[in-house]
Amino acid sequence: MGFSGFPPAPDISGAASVIGIWMPRADAAIIHLEPKWTELLSGESPTAIARREFAGLVALYRSRNLDIVVVIDATNGVDRTAEASELMAAGRSVTEPAIQALYRAWARAVVAEVHPVALGLAAETNLIRFGAPARVYQAVVQMANDAARDVWLDNASLPLFVSIQVDAAWGRLQGTNQYTGVEQDFRDFPFTQWIGLSSYPYLAGFASPEIMPDDWYSRPLNGRTIPTIVTEGGWTSANTGAVVSSAALQARWIARQTQLADRVGASYLFQLLFADIDLVAFQAQFDPKVLPFARIGMVDSVLAPKPALAVWDSVFARVRTR
């Protein structure tokens, strides 16, 4: 169980404070990010970029014996209809062979620097397929499979995977409520030895966690027994848009998510945000599409605990005694 190092505000001290609070209640960490496209496009060595980006963070995680899982986001992390903002700002696209080559080089550099226990080569692939132009999805398929071959040249035993968006697999994000599954994802990414699961049910039309189907996580696996990771997810503790929620509902989601994860024997359960996002501090940088996710932290933006944290701690205590 664990979190990412994403801070509530864009400063290093804030990030260190957040990590310091969540590390005692975690035995794993996730690094989930887009490639550093601006630096890569400038011609800087992927190895040098990865070392600068991750050396200190990895040393900190290793000092607490945390397992590290990495997910490289092949497109825009908050808008699956689009490509990474840094790429688009440069007028470039993953459909270009040169950009795909940079992605592959970045994947190898990250593995060499971080030495993760598993590597995700694309996130929410079914949502990309549903929302992005077909040529972008096909480019993601191509470069993820090529990157898998490259990474295995260096480390043939490293488990590789992609993540799928569970809410979309059930048809909830599309508004159809017609189950579609993720069989195409397993076909398009045959290197997948594990599978990552992403779910934000409050955005999928559920008024409470208890009414979600018991096979919410298990049905997309379609009988497969491969290792499963909850790579991201959450429930807002405050109203957002048309969603009505509360801190109590968020706490109930942590309990319910644990039940759902237990049903698939999940190897890891991650939440990307430990702390809420300070939207004022980030106002110059954030896409409005981030707003629905701003209040899913276990603590608020000034690090005051929310009820969900006590539930998380109780689950973590249970896991530690297994």
- pLDDT at residue 175, as a whole number: 86
Is there a contact between 2 and 28 (Cβ–Cβ < 8 Å)?
yes
- pLDDT at residue 10, as a whole number: 86
- pLDDT at residue 289, as a whole number: 86
* Each residue's pLDDT tens digit, 22-41: 999 999 999 999 999 999 99
| 98 contacts: CB under 8 Å, gap ≥ 6 | none
* Each residue's pLDDT tens digit, 96-141: 999 999 999 999 999 999 999 999 999 999 999 999 999 999 999 9
* Each residue's pLDDT tens digit, 243-261: 999 999 999 999 999 999 9
Which domains are seen in the chain, by residue range?
A: 2-320 (3.20.20.80)
Per-residue pLDDT of the chain (322 residues; tens, 9 = 90+): 999 999 998 887 778 889 999 999 999 999 999 999 999 999 999 999 999 999 999 999 999 999 999 999 999 999 999 999 999 999 999 999 999 999 999 999 999 999 999 999 999 999 999 999 999 999 999 999 999 999 999 999 999 999 999 999 999 998 899 999 999 999 999 999 999 999 999 999 999 999 999 999 999 999 999 999 999 999 999 999 899 999 999 999 999 999 999 999 999 999 999 999 998 888 767 778 889 999 999 999 999 999 999 999 999 998 877 6
- pLDDT at residue 284, as a whole number: 63
CA–CA distance, 265 with 198 (Å, rounded to integer): 16
CA–CA distance, 231 with 152 (Å, rounded to integer): 22
Percent of the chain with pLDDT over 70: 99
CA–CA distance, 305 with 28 (Å, rounded to integer): 20
Q: Looking at the whole model, is its pTM more than 0.85?
A: yes
Is there a contact between 79 and 40 (Cβ–Cβ < 8 Å)?
no
CA–CA distance, 48 with 43 (Å, rounded to integer): 11
- pLDDT at residue 18, as a whole number: 93
Instruction: Report how far Cα 197 is from the mean position of its chain's Cα atoms.
Output: 9
CA–CA distance, 313 with 319 (Å, rounded to integer): 10
